[in-house]
Chains A and B, each alone.
Chain A
Amino acid sequence: MSRSTVNRVVLGLAGALLLVGGVLVLAGGLDLYGRLGVRMPTWWPLTSPDQPVLSDASRTRWSGEAWWWPVVFAVLGLTVALALWWLFAQVRRSGPSSVTLPVGGAGVTVRLRSRALADAVETETVALPDVTRVQARLTGRPKQLLLRAAVRLAPGGDPAGAVDDFLTGPLAHARTTLGQDDLPTDLRLRVTRAPAASRAPAPRRVL
């Protein structure tokens, strides 16, 4: 499952739990069942406004059963374990600190700091026409790298030209360096707004 799917499942579960719980409490507290004249089945929780939120009787209803404590420990333990797994997965996200280059002879491995590669991409990109700022990062897993670049263009810059220049210049060089012709890339382009003062002066209106 992709990171996005995992996160969306977590958000959806938490949202559904909160929504169902909140609606049940509101329906009971505002006596919606009584006002609408609906008779709920006997097992339906929280039907009367005079009822406590969680009485001692309901809280300890199953605590004598043999299955109760194993289930409680399993659910709580699973929640804690999955939460910890998710948090550690975020720490690993920043990507490898260095990558192995496909050069060197027998017994020699050449490794390059990811930051150095990103710096090279930045230096080359900022020299392209129209580019005012750039930020590059090498992320992903060692086997599946991802180059992320955020590029800002000057007012009126040419996006099509900038993308083509980036693909044939800095990105092509990074791909050659890493020996990965299909290195996945995220390129985020922004264009600066022209400051109001430097805009073309409006022609005088002739009446």
Chain B
Amino acid sequence: MTDDQIPPRVRRLRSNRTGWTGPVVVAALVLGGGLLYDAVAVRTGHRARPWRAETADRLATLHLDDPVVLISAGAAVLLGVLLLVLALTPGLRRWLLLRQPGAVIDRAGVAALVTRRAEQLDGVHSAGAKVRRGRTTVTFVGRVDPADVQRELRTELARVPLAGEHRLDVRTGKGRR
């Protein structure tokens, strides 16, 4: 089996995550810089700043079952999970890759194109589209054969040069009263 027989794997976009890393880095800078400043002050014979003395004092008096400690720990767990999820997931979910390298289209745009075309068809009363990474689902209300709608929308979707396979599902929805 040669390389060109394997369908090319469509890579995913990965967010740089700069917006989330910024606050984390600033927090690390403030915390690390403050502690470093105070450690240098103490080592060179000055007194510890009041904020560090107070913090150390509070940490030494608060017990682990204090509500303040438990709530802070719970918040730390939630924030930690959020940051880990951000570190591991690709992000940029609203963009779909196009065949041309470097070009992407937003999913809402594809949905708008398909919805507009569906609503122009004779006999279609209303339509809605949900575009996911590998599949577009169109739900329409009207007295038309879904197969005809599918054929029309397939040609509409072909105007978007999406990279990789993309399925199109057409179903009829319940009419609005």
Contacts and interface: CB of A to CB of B under 8 A. Distances in A.
Contacts, number: 230
A193 B80 contact: no
A30 B67 CA distance: 10
Given A192-B112, A194-B116, A203-B123, A15 B59 contact: no
Contact of B87 (A15, A29, A84, A187): A15
Contact of B73 (A26, A83, A193): A26
Interface in A63-98: 69, 72-73, 76-77, 79-80, 83-84, 86-87, 90
Contact of A48 (B61, B64, B160): B64
B104 to A, nearest CB: 6
A162 B95 CA distance: 17
Interface string A31-57: 100000000000000101111111110
Interface in B15-60: 15-18, 20-22, 24-26, 28-29, 31-33, 35-36, 39-40, 43, 56, 59-60
A11 B87 contact: yes
B164 to A, nearest CB: 15
Contacts of B32: 76, 79-80, 83
B83 A12 contact: yes
A168 B111 CA distance: 27
Interface residues of A, number: 73
9 contacts: A4-B15, A15-B80, A18-B76, A21-B80, A29-B69, A46-B64, A53-B69, A160-B159, A187-B104
Given A4-B15, A15-B85, 17 more contacts: A7-B17, A7-B20, A11-B21, A15-B87, A22-B74, A25-B64, A29-B73, A48-B64, A50-B63, A56-B60, A76-B35, A79-B29, A90-B22, A186-B102, A187-B100, A194-B115, A202-B125
